[in-house]
Chain A
Amino acid sequence: MQRFEGQVQLVLYPLALNPAANPASEVAAQAAWCAGEQGKFWEFHHMLYRRQELWNRLAAPLERLSEFSKDLNLDATALKSCVESGRMQTLVTADRAYSQQLQVNSTPTIFINANRVVGARPEGELVRLIREELDRVQPQGQ
């Protein structure tokens, strides 16, 4: 992102693609939103990936995630009650509906403007695709 300063914006949609099959993803997405309420969305987001193996197979991962949140100096009790209240459910459901409109069937899926990129790609390839899109929307000399 730093190399494209001023030219690119990243919008993140924490998605629970199939909560029936994998309820942990729904809890994690809600917990990320709740961490955002405490001003630490991105820290929590990165932590979820870093420690993925420690929580993603748990049937009820909230306890573990709230424990992890302490390491980020979050209020674990507030985070837990935020998720349990279900008030972030609407946001997660809305993102899922939006992803369905866009026919996102697997993750990660990214859109570079209107160009769909499905699956994890090497950084170099993403940089190339972003450059190509920048060249398209901002031809040289403009």
Chain B
Amino acid sequence: MAKKSRARAQTLSPRQQSPQRPLTPQRWRLKLVIGGAVLAVALGVGGLVRFLQQRDVAPRLQGTGDKHYTLGTAHAPVVIKEFSDYT
């Protein structure tokens, strides 16, 4: 058993062997910058996807249903299309 424990200890990396040092303000700043960049990229990608989705959808929304029940004024400036499932 003792031999096994010694063998395991030898395979540990130097980082695991030494106690972790507290992060310096510089490293904190670096982490914040990286985290902020990742967040900005994620938000950018989300925004782009949403934009492309809207751009794709808008032309298809132009034609109102030829045989659908409507309320309100025909050719109104705002058209609301409601998709509802009765269940």
The complex places the Cα of A140 from the Cα of B56 at a distance, in Å, of: 29
How many A-B pairs with Cβ below 8 Å?
137
What's the dominant secondary structure at chain A's contact region? mixed
Residue positions of B touching A, CB distance < 8 A: 53-54, 57-58, 60-61, 64-65, 67-87
Which residues of A have CB within 8 Å of B67? 91
Residue positions of A touching B, CB distance < 8 A: 1, 4-17, 22, 24-25, 28-29, 32, 36, 41-42, 45, 48-49, 52, 56, 91, 95, 98-99, 101-104, 107-116, 130, 133-134, 137-138
What's the dominant secondary structure at chain B's contact region? mixed
Contact between chains at A138 and B77 (CB < 8 Å): yes
Q: In the complex, how many angstroms separate the beta carbon of B84 from the nearest chain A beta carbon?
A: 5
Contact between chains at B78 and A112 (CB < 8 Å): yes
